[in-house]
Chain A
Amino acid sequence: MTDTKITSKEAIMLVVTIFVSHTIVTLPQNLLSNTKSATLINLLYVGIIAILLAYVIYRLLKNFASLDIVDISQYLGGNILKNIIGGIFITYFIVSSSNLLREFCEGLHVAFFPMTSIQFVLIPFILVLFLTNSLSFSSNVKTIAIIFPIVLISIVFLFFGNFQNFSFERMFPILGKGFYDTFITGIGNIFAFSGISCLYFIPPYLKEPNKMKQIALSSVIIGLLYFLFCTATILLLFSFFVDVDEVLPLYSAASYIEFGIFFQRLESFFMLIWILEIGCYLIVTNRFSISIFQKITNLKFQKPLAMIFPLLILGISLLPKNYSIIRFLESNIYSYFIIAIIFVLGIAILLLANLKKRKEGKVR
């Protein structure tokens, strides 16, 4: 079964893919509206907290070599806890991916297909998921490893392509809404690092489980750099004193890039790259939710689930009636949801499991 194992570099890319996809849609916008011109400082600050948390998670996972959080919760609280935790995380993955998909497709709908109704824009993604789910996990990860560098380069290109349009004064006033908003309530911006949730699930897939520390830290650091590039591009390019929301802020940023007369309209190519990236994100969340489901139900094969989860995502992503509901969910509920699940629940379970293990060790 070496087929399902992935190398540590691939694991890093997998985690960062989760970080990155949200930046394509409204994540930078949400961050900026939370902390305004202090977002870069806030991001650095939150990023350091995220790195610390990732380290904590690594330390807590270390005692359970190649067990993921579902296994650990089984160890802690038996089958009931396992089912609850598995259910919560499946919900998290499904909801976040369907939300992201819907948001991105709304953007696609506006930019590319003004006359096509949204469900048909969603369908191609679901079809691709059918295919990718029925192929091996390692092939999915390998694909991500091919696509991820392209995405990374695209965002760096976006940053430097827009460099001439930047006005660096937009970083000021340096504290944005104020000290309290930046550093205390600003901690809420940690929801950007929702990709940390992957850390709970990758240990069973790793070829070299002892490199978990490297994976945890470097993926968060790469993700942080990525966020800085994205938000800097948007912050320095647009005025944010008046809230002018854009459906796909990075897409709008891309339309400002110009090199001479000929290379002007590059945003569609960026869109092409981002379609690939969103596809990768969906692949990852699908894979994880399928494997959690498999663990809960003790199924032998994953293949029968290959079509169910994409269809579930399609269904949930069609639920919101209009874009404003999605944005409301995204900016108000979703962020707390993420913080509660990933940073509170996950760490709490790991802590308790560690305590239990230590106790058992003492008893022995």
Chain B
Amino acid sequence: MNIKRMISSLFTYIPQEQYNFVLFRDTTGNQSSENKELKKDDENKTIYPSLSVNLEYVKSKYNSMINSDIIIREFTLNARGKQYSAFLLYIDGMINTDIMNKFVLEPLMLRNKSNMYDNEQNRIISEAVTNNITVRKVKKFNLADYIMSCLMPQNTVEQFSKFSKIFNDVNSGNCALFIDTLNIAFDIEVKGFEKRSIDKPENEIVIKGAHEAFVENIRTNTSLIRRSVHNENLIIENIQIGDITKTNCALCYVKTLANSDLVAELRYRLNNLEIDSMLSSGQLEQMIVDNNLISIPQVISTERPDKATSYLLDGRIVLLVNGAPYALVVPAVFTDFLSTPDDKNMRTSFSNFIKWIRILATFISLLLPGLYVAIASFHQELLPTDLLYSILASRETVPFPVILEILILEISFELIREAGIRVPSPIGPTIGIVGALIIGQSAVSAGIVSPILIIVVAMTGIASFAVPDYSFSFHLRIYRFLFIFLGYCCGFLGIGLGFLAYLVVLCDTKSFGVSFTSGISPLQKTVGHSYFLQPIWLREFRASYLDPKKHNKQEKISMKWKYPFLKEEDIQ
């Protein structure tokens, strides 16, 4: 038998069965227009009076036969002794079951005092007696109103007549109540899904500031902001972005401070985004900035509510995206990327010292490798003789030219950095050790790179970590390579002209109508903004380039207790 099979396998032709899945692209092109029409229909669909039609529509719309977490609960509703059939639509896992049972199903289904009456009693609104004739103004019984006012012990209940609105809320964790004979549906808030609790910020660590960070849930985030602004003028507008995801975004600003043109512009940009999905604040950032070609960040992105709040109170606008633990702040200027929320919590002299260090860090991180290459290639006369000798001595065994050497090291440094982020956290420290020891120590002893260069690259790396904003430091990392090439290509001439071009581009950049270099370059008097902080009692104004509605931040004499006998006239 076996021999037979062997022989047959040898000589018989068996067609090769290869699994081959190909996704065909619909090239006819009418798909999109169909979709659009369908969408338009859906948007305008109103709720039918007949429950069974509604039920059918909802079932087909939600694909409830195959969608496992869509739950449609049919039941009978008691109202004034009458019974109506009804159903609830909600998504399992997104609602709070307790609330659902106790405050939705229980009052609607169980008999209680309020739905005991059986006759159609009309409620008397007012009664007037004239000439023994009693005139009664009677309100006709309205089931919808009745349910709304008597049967729904729930805080947030709304009535909608359009399916689209109902579905939108169901998707975000509400439940919808459809009742026979009514051409409206109730939208009941019973949200209760699992979410992360407020945690410590992980990427923007400060010493003296608050230790709260935004979470993914937009309501928690708005509450964080609301709690610290603590004023009714804080407006949190809701804007939905994305045709499919309909992501909730919140546009937060203080009405009495933020420039209304700025708010209108941002609202205009947000409302005119034709995209299917919006999943994170990083995507939104790229969708709304003026210029994406240059990698300069034009929007501040922060995970700290206190930072967002302080910008809000400066008259800027904060954007929150549901599902993203980062808030976006617009407009942003250059100096914002070199500031941390801690600056204002420390004494002025401390923070100004740190700010100097940050400027230095920016320059080192952008230019140091480029300058090193330029000096080594063209301008060795610049080096003091002793330093020249130590560089020469350290480069004796190195086979590569300086440019190759620095590229090898810079790229391996970037590799270590990227690997360190992606690596699972238990083995994270190993990457650092491997990187630092193996690459650094062994490369030097093997004579591949010179120790001086290790110092240069390490200095650059450390400096780029001292730049507080992640995306800005990333921007510097990329442009650093440009300057390395320029330095290699034409020495100081390349670096000088490259820097000039960089400055011009920087000055040309605008973030939401505000010049990116405000506070540095248009040397008009920009009150209320300087990179270096003034003593706290002198910070009287909000930054003038934001053109806020209220310019004064504090009185001319803010520490009144110091001058108890000062009269009003003296202050002027």
Contact = CB atoms under 8 A, between A and B. Distances in A.
B507 A275 contact: no
Which of A124, A139, A280 has the most chain B CB atoms closer than 10 A to its own CB? A139
Contacts of A272: 492, 495-496
Given A132-B504, A135-B505, A142-B521, A112 B379 contact: yes
Interface stretch (B337-345, B380-388, B449-457): B380-388
Contact of A136 (B378, B494, B496, B508): B508
Given A7-B522, A268-B382, A112 B507 contact: no
Given A108-B493, A139-B508, A147 B522 contact: no
Contacts of B496: 272-273, 275-276, 279
A113 B491 CA distance: 9
B507 A139 contact: yes
A147 B501 CA distance: 12
Contacts of B497: 124-125, 127-128, 275, 279
Interface string B495-524: 111011101110110000001010011111
Interface residues of B, number: 29
Given A113-B378, A264-B384, A268-B381, A146 B521 contact: yes
Nearest to B492: A272
Contacts of A79: none
Q: Is the interface on chain A under 10, 10 to 19, 20 to 34, or 35 or more residues?
A: 35 or more
Interface string A119-163: 001001101100110011011101101110000000000000000
A261 to B, nearest CB: 7
Contacts of A135: 504-505, 508
Given A10-B522, A136-B508, A265-B381, A143 B503 contact: yes
A9 interface: yes
A121 B493 contact: yes
Contacts of A280: 500
Interface string A86-125: 0000000000000000000000100011000000010011
A277 to B, nearest CB: 9
A128 B494 CA distance: 10
B150 interface: no
A145 B504 contact: no
A108 B499 CA distance: 17
A128 B492 contact: no
B403 to A, nearest CB: 17
B517 A142 contact: yes
A267 to B, nearest CB: 8
Which of A136, A143, A271 has the most chain B CB atoms closer than 10 A to its own CB? A143
A271 B523 contact: no
A145 B492 contact: no
A113 B493 CA distance: 10
8 tightest A-B CB contacts, nearest first = A275-B496, A139-B508, A142-B507, A142-B521, A139-B507, A135-B508, A279-B500, A9-B523
Contacts of B379: 112, 268
Contacts of B521: 142-143, 145-146
A262 interface: yes
Contacts of B524: 7, 9
B490 interface: yes
B499 A139 contact: no
A124 B378 CA distance: 16
A269 interface: yes
Contact of A275 (B378, B384, B493, B515): B493
Interface string A251-276: 00000000001101100110111011
Contacts of B523: 7, 9-10, 13, 145
Contacts of A124: 490, 493-494, 497
Contacts of B517: 142, 146
A125 B500 CA distance: 10
A128 B500 CA distance: 8
Contacts of A145: 521-523
A131 B493 contact: no
Contacts of A261: 384
Given A139-B508, A261-B384, A265-B384, A147 B493 contact: no
A309 B501 CA distance: 17
B507 A143 contact: yes
Given A9-B524, A275-B497, A143 B504 contact: yes
A192 to B, nearest CB: 25
Given A7-B522, A131-B504, A142-B507, A276 B381 contact: no
B173 to A, nearest CB: 47
Nearest to B371: A272
A262 B384 contact: yes
Contacts of B500: 128, 132, 143, 147, 275-276, 279-280
Interface string A73-86: 00000000000000
Interface in B512-547: 515, 517, 520-524
12 contacts: A13-B523, A112-B379, A128-B497, A128-B501, A132-B500, A135-B504, A140-B504, A146-B507, A264-B384, A265-B384, A275-B493, A276-B496
Nearest to A279: B500
Given A9-B523, A124-B493, A276-B499, A139 B504 contact: yes
A125 to B, nearest CB: 7
A138 to B, nearest CB: 8
B499 to A, nearest CB: 7
A146 B501 contact: no
A275 to B, nearest CB: 4
A131 B384 contact: no
Contact of B492 (A7, A9, A271): A271
A131 B501 contact: yes
A283 B524 CA distance: 21
A13 B381 CA distance: 33
Contacts of B381: 265, 268
A139 B517 CA distance: 9
Contacts of B504: 131-132, 135, 139-140, 143, 283
A230 B378 CA distance: 27
Contacts of A13: 523
Nearest to A12: B523
Contacts of A147: 500, 503
Interface string B369-383: 000000000110111
Nearest to A260: B384
Contact of A265 (B383, B499, B503): B383
Interface in B451-508: 490-497, 499-501, 503-505, 507-508
B490 A146 contact: no
Contact of B493 (A112, A140, A142, A265): A112
A279 B497 CA distance: 7
A142 B522 contact: yes
A146 B492 contact: no
B507 A268 contact: no
A113 to B, nearest CB: 7
Interface string A1-38: 00000010110010000000000000000000000000
Given A128-B497, A272-B492, A265 B382 contact: yes
A112 B508 contact: no
Contacts of B382: 265, 268-269
Contacts of A142: 507, 515, 517, 521-522
Contacts of A9: 523-524
A283 B503 CA distance: 13
Contacts of A128: 497, 500-501
A262 B384 CA distance: 6
Contacts of B501: 128, 131-132
Nearest to B491: A112
A112 B496 CA distance: 13
Contacts of B493: 108, 112-113, 121, 124, 275
Contacts of B507: 138-140, 142-143, 146
A275 B497 CA distance: 7
A108 B521 CA distance: 29
Given A132-B500, A145-B523, A265-B381, 15 more contacts: A112-B491, A112-B492, A112-B493, A124-B490, A124-B494, A132-B501, A142-B507, A142-B521, A143-B507, A143-B521, A145-B522, A146-B517, A147-B500, A273-B496, A275-B497
